[in-house]
Structure 1
Amino acid sequence: MTLITNLASVFANTVLPVFLVAGAGYVLARFIALEGRTLGRVVFYLASPALVFRSLYNMNISTAALTQVLLLVLGVYLITGFAGWMAGLDQERPQRSALTISSAISNNGNMGLPITLFALGNAGLVIATIYYATSALLTNTLGVIIASTGSAPLSKALRQSLRAPVLYATLLGIALNRLAMPIPEPLYRAIDLTAGAAIPMMLVLLGVQLSATPINSEQRVIWRSMVIRLGLSPLAAVALCMLLGIDGLERQVVILQASMPTAVVATVLATEFVTAPRLVAAAVLFSTLASMATISLVLVLIT
């Protein structure tokens, strides 16, 4: 098969289904009064933590491999964040912070999890969930610190970040997994049922959130964060895989996760801290659209 044929096949079978569901959410939000904030809270406080807990509780990965993945996620986050900061040296402080968070914060949940599931199966989804959970923790700490350099008080934001349920779902899932502690069947079934709703809800939420994303005149510097997010980030993951000795399925998953576009949560942070939110919103929209092509290419190269 030629490269073009491979790209078309990967796009149709793996990437397109994700965008079709997100597109349905986009259309619904345009034609009916679909409340994105309520849906987002259901995902944030219930479905996403359930998915993270279930995946980590059931994971079959050594402590060494788990540590490698955690270090890689941290490395990619720091590299892309630093690159975004450097790319904004000619900008005012709010715009520089906006470039930093839009470069560092990737959509490992709404997009990364379903694409990994379609491309690499349930075994890949477990590793992708580890990546997502770690990235979410970094966003709620380092991301908040970076965004707060725009204006708002840091201490209040950090206190709020400790309320993120995914933090406790991550710690509890890893702890019970390592202790091999059984969960009562009725409770596990409830968690499993809730976790099963997470991915489709995330995709619908992505569409709803994108429908509210404005297209504005601050697009002249967006390409900088897009190059970092969609280009430098997967290359950094490849280099870190070589450095940390990550191979096999773990290597495929972390490179794929590092290839995701800017996450909508970056817009939330930018709005909260008045850090050029229109610039970040545009970065989310255009990087998401561009990722249809770049993610397909990455999948062809790693599989």
Structure 2
Amino acid sequence: MNLLLTVFEIVAPVFILAGIGFTWVKLGFEYRLQFVTRFAMTLAVPSLIFVALMQTDIPGGDLSRFTVASVFAHLAIAAVFWLIVRGLKLEQRTYLSPLIFGNTGNLGLPLCIFAFGQAGLGYAVIFLSVTALFSFTYGIYLVAGKGAFGKVVREPMVWATLLGALFLWRGWQTPLFLTNTLELLGQMAVPLMLITVGVAVARLTTHRLSQAVWLSLLKLGVCFALGWVVALVFKLESVAFGVLVLQMCTPVAVTSYLLAERFKADADAVAGMVMVSTALSVGALPLILAIVL
């Protein structure tokens, strides 16, 4: 009973905030998705990442091992789903990116914060940064047929991660007034990201739900198994273990739909995967959380 109550207390705020965003749009109220997303990804999330890394008390060796594990996990999932997509004769441009990349920012980051506290945030930030690096390069290449390496060096999240890692390594701290400012900006990130998930899902439409159901279940099963194996292979401690598995199991990112729409892939199919996998996560993520806690 105590475990169930703990899991409920962790996941309830996440899905309530996403539900607020969903309901807000369905009631016909305005929500400027492009502005909010740009603000969050340019200021709020980078501030959260930088401060989390600068203030983390996770030993450097543990962070390094988790970083390598995160990179290996992304390579493993890319290889496995490449084989699955080829075996099922699905179109690579449409299906490979959403199967590989999860919503490690909007959903994964808040869940890890609520579940594992400051230590979980440090690990979740590392995983999110690795996801961002892969999605801005390999992810765009999959859909567009060309890389976007220039976007990486212009991405505030990447610089926030590099600067945060530098400050952590050197033991530096920003002046208190700047730290407080960055913390305030970072505190906006979680509610903004969660509400935006609900808004984005509310605006999606699809006619491919049946296919989306089995693909979403396949993604969840493969990601859970790979996350568990990678965490065991790298002998991650309990918090790092839980964060890796949880981040691996997050639903399809909304950005996969945006890329499919922009580069003329089958956006309707990807929209179905975003909607179904997000709905599936309402039941799946609490169960996974109960396993890893």
Q: TM-score, normalised by structure 2?
A: 0.92
Count of aligned pairs: 291
1-structure distance, mates of 2:217, 2:68: 23
In structure 1, stretches of 5+ residues that fail to align are none
1:224 shift after superposition: 4.8
Find out whether 1:297 has 2:287 as its counterpart: yes
2-structure distance, mates of 1:50, 1:230: 30
1-structure distance, mates of 2:137, 2:179: 30
Answer whether contact 2:205 2:268 (CA < 8 A) is retained.
Answer: yes
Moved more, 138-147 or 45-54: 138-147
> Which residue is 1:27 aligned to?
23
> Which residue is 1:238 aligned to?
228
1-structure distance, mates of 2:68, 2:97: 19
The code of the aligned residue for 1:302 comes to: V
The code of the aligned residue for 2:189 comes to: A
Answer whether contact 2:104 2:131 (CA < 8 A) is retained.
Answer: yes
Partner of residue 202 from structure 2, selected from 205, 211, 231: 211
Q: What are the residue-to-residue correspondences of 1:12-23 with 2, within 5 Å?
A: 12-23=8-19
1-structure distance, mates of 2:67, 2:270: 26
2-structure distance, mates of 1:195, 1:202: 11
> Which residue is 1:70 aligned to?
67
Moved more, 132-141 or 280-289: 132-141
> Which residue is 2:135 aligned to?
139
Q: What are the residue-to-residue correspondences of 1:224-235 with 2, within 5 Å?
A: 224-235=214-225
2-structure distance, mates of 1:15, 1:21: 10
> Which residue is 2:45 aligned to?
48
> Which residue is 1:111 aligned to?
107
Find out whether 1:185 has 2:182 as its counterpart: no
Q: Which runs of 4+ in 1 moved over 4 A?
A: none
Moved more, 195-204 or 243-252: 243-252
1:133 shift after superposition: 1.7
Find out whether 1:60 has 2:57 as its counterpart: yes
1-structure distance, mates of 2:96, 2:65: 24
1:203 shift after superposition: 0.6
1:122 shift after superposition: 2.3
1:221 shift after superposition: 3.4
Aligned-residue Cα RMSD (Å) equals 1.9
Partner of residue 252 from structure 1, selected from 235, 242, 260: 242
Please give the per-residue CA displacement for 1:244-283, whole angstroms capped at 9, x wherever unaligned.
Answer: 1212211111111112111111112222222222211111
Answer whether contact 1:72 1:241 (CA < 8 A) is retained.
Answer: yes
> Which residue is 1:164 aligned to?
155
Answer whether contact 1:124 1:250 (CA < 8 A) is retained.
Answer: yes
Q: TM-score, normalised by structure 1?
A: 0.89
Structure 1 vs Structure 2: percent identity of aligned residues? 25
Compared with structure 1, are the counterparts of its residues 299 and 132 closer, same or farther at alpha carbon in structure 2 (3 Å cutoff)? same
